[in-house]
Amino acid sequence: MSQINIYHNPDCGTSRNVLGLIRNSGEEPTIIEYLKTPPDRETLKTLKTLIAAMGVPVRAVLREKGTPYAELGLDDSKWSDEHLIDFMLQHPILINRPIVVTPLGTLLCRPSEAVLGILPQPQRGAFSKEDGEAVVNAEGHRV
């Protein structure tokens, strides 16, 4: 079993880049495609645990772009953390991604190279993002 989990959306370029960086370190993570798994009580517990582990406010995990964020009025301060988490469970697309869990920490990896700070193993070679931007050189060092 992998020591790394990625809460992944394969339709997201940032998420695909993070997955590539994890694999470039020689690890094969457990991939959780959270949009395909219907939310349940366990998902609620997991989401609260992830947010707590990241040490960020619940609002920091909300995704605005390409979601019902505006239609639901989620920018209104009247919504408590519990309400916001309920919205994320009802509309998983509201959960910003990718979230990566490793033995070194839990992090919302935006930008994708943020994952480098929590990977247990170094990069094994050059890596460029899908758009061609070099992130890691041939020696495995951040560019």
Residues 23-70: tens digit of each pLDDT: 999 999 999 999 998 677 888 889 999 999 999 999 999 999 999 999
Domains of the chain, each with CATH number or no CATH? 5-136 (3.40.30.10)
For residues 7 and 94, what is the distance between their CA atoms, to the nearest angstrom? 13
Residues 107-141: tens digit of each pLDDT: 999 999 999 999 999 999 999 999 999 999 999 99
Q: Is 12 a catalytic residue?
A: yes
Q: Which member of 12, 21, 88, 109 is catalytic?
A: 12
Overall pTM > 0.85: yes
